[in-house]
Amino acid sequence: MIRTLKHPKRLLYFLELINFIVFISLTSFAQNRYGDYSTSETIFMENFSDNNNGWITGLSADSCYKSKIEDGIFEITSVCKDTRPWYCITRTIDTDRDFEIETEILYVQGENDNSINLIWGKNDDEYRFRFGISGNGQYRIDAYNGNWTNLKEWTISDLVNKLDYNKLTARKISNKYYFFLNEHLVHTSNFYPFFGNQIGFQDNQNTTMRVNYLSVSYLKQNPNLSLSTLPQKDKAQPIELSGFCGSFGMGFIHSTGEVRELWGDGFDIDILLGYLFLPNFGFECGLNYGITTIAEEKKITVNVVDSYGNHSTRTTRGGQYCSFPVGLKYTCPISSDSDIFLTFSGGGNYHFEDEWGMDDVTDYTNRGTSGLGYYARISINWLADIGFGTNFGWGLQIKYINNHANLSDFYKNSEFNNNNLNAGDLANKSHASDGRLILLLEIGWL
């Protein structure tokens, strides 16, 4: 016999919702490429044709670093270990508006495994934001407020020019930061308020760097921009996911199998732990705990005879189940360096469920079902940059669980619409298909 969902519209509504979310996410992402915005007002422009803006030049008192402005270039040199000098000026930016800070910097010589940097939002306590590149072809973005926080870990990229200037752009649109390396989007994060109004550059130890220009501008969105003409994102390095991962979710159960004749809809709690032994591929295991109701017209009633020979009945009022999935998973961004991830997973599942409300019934020894089966799930997650690392996320998950349940004892002494099941009915239902369709809101570590 082929069974159909009693509420197929619920599944259709959910799939339409996922479709809409993905469409909106992709659309929003496409509207924040480098060419989507242009200058509406220049706050500050420094091309180093002179030193009218008062940059500090010359040799430091300890002779460990020096700087000069010459031929339209600002050159900074560190000649000592553990000396990473910065040069800043103060400029006020209205951070309620959309703006960008942009520069071109060049690694000249010296240690090539640490960064030369654009810095901004700095205060006198040295709290600051930093976007830098290294001479060996890497970039990173971080912040210091007494402790270092990585907005973007060290990442190797073919976008880094090892022998030429690199354009670094820190752009704020609405409540987000968009970071561009040579006009290619390499990272997106939440916008964080400035610590102060100082802006400038920081050199690495024993290293010489050069700066071509520095500009700060308010922005406007360009209308009717053809996306085909825009620079493409960095394809070199996707976001690196954690080895260990896990999620916690809560959501809605919809029963779909033979046990649907007993169980109604309910509430589910989901815990999954996993480990990625390849960049995007790994395994997972977990626990699902659910609470369900039993439809009034399909309740289970058990006849009881006590020690005095008195007859009475016990009726279940609901049920619970536990499932233990173990399977493989694949997690990937929807595009290179995207903050939106899809996870596909599936595998084996052990399942047990029983009913409540039987009190001290002694002649109903088997009150539940158990069985082996399978599960499959898909989830969409947004990375949440809240200071604990870029792999913390939240999202939506849809999961299907199916088990080969042994129901023979579960159906005995049961009544459905006052019709008792006969031996033939029990035989037919002794190994029924038990399905669950589960929709979850989840948080976790990708």
User: What does the pLDDT look like over 184-225, one tens digit per residue?
Assistant: 999 988 899 999 999 999 999 999 999 999 999 999 988 755
Q: Is the pLDDT of residue 314 over 80?
A: no
Q: Is the pLDDT of residue 389 over 60?
A: no
Q: pLDDT class for 14, splitting at 50, 70, 90? A: very low
- Tell me the CATH architecture of domain 37-224: Sandwich (2.60)
Which has more confidence, 184 or 231? 184
What average pLDDT does this structure show over 272-299?
Answer: 80
Q: Choose the most confident range, by mean pLDDT, from 244-258, 274-288, 303-317.
A: 274-288
The topology (CATH level 3) of 8-28+239-445 is Porin (2.40.160)
User: What does the pLDDT look like over 91-149, one tens digit per residue?
Assistant: 999 999 999 999 999 999 999 999 999 999 999 999 999 999 999 999 999 999 999 99
Q: Is the pLDDT of residue 286 over 70?
A: yes
Q: pLDDT class for 306, splitting at 50, 70, 90? A: low
Q: Choose the most confident range, by mean pLDDT, from 26-30, 182-186, 309-313.
A: 182-186
Q: pLDDT class for 296, splitting at 50, 70, 90? A: low
What's the CA gap between 247 and 269, in Å, rounded?
Answer: 11
Q: pLDDT class for 2, splitting at 50, 70, 90? A: very low
User: What does the pLDDT look like over 345-377, one tens digit per residue?
Assistant: 999 988 877 766 655 554 444 456 777 888 999
The pLDDT assigned to 334 comes to 82
The pLDDT assigned to 197 comes to 96
Q: pLDDT class for 262, splitting at 50, 70, 90? A: low
Q: pLDDT class for 27, splitting at 50, 70, 90? A: very low
Q: Average model confidence (pLDDT) for the chain?
A: 79
The pLDDT assigned to 68 comes to 96
Q: pLDDT class for 46, splitting at 50, 70, 90? A: very high
Q: Is the pLDDT of residue 230 over 50?
A: no
The pLDDT assigned to 30 comes to 39
The pLDDT assigned to 131 comes to 97
The pLDDT assigned to 435 comes to 77
The pLDDT assigned to 28 comes to 42
CATH 2.60.120.560 maps onto the chain at 37-224
Other Cβ atoms within 10 Å of 407 Cβ, number? 24
Q: Choose the most confident range, by mean pLDDT, from 14-18, 50-54, 245-249, 314-318.
A: 50-54
The pLDDT assigned to 175 comes to 87
% of the chain exceeding 70 in pLDDT: 68
The pLDDT assigned to 235 comes to 41
What average pLDDT does this structure show over 161-176?
Answer: 94
The pLDDT assigned to 212 comes to 97
Q: pLDDT class for 430, splitting at 50, 70, 90? A: low
% of the chain exceeding 90 in pLDDT: 46
Q: pLDDT class for 305, splitting at 50, 70, 90? A: low
CATH 2.40.160.20 maps onto the chain at 8-28+239-445
Q: Is the pLDDT of residue 228 over 50?
A: no
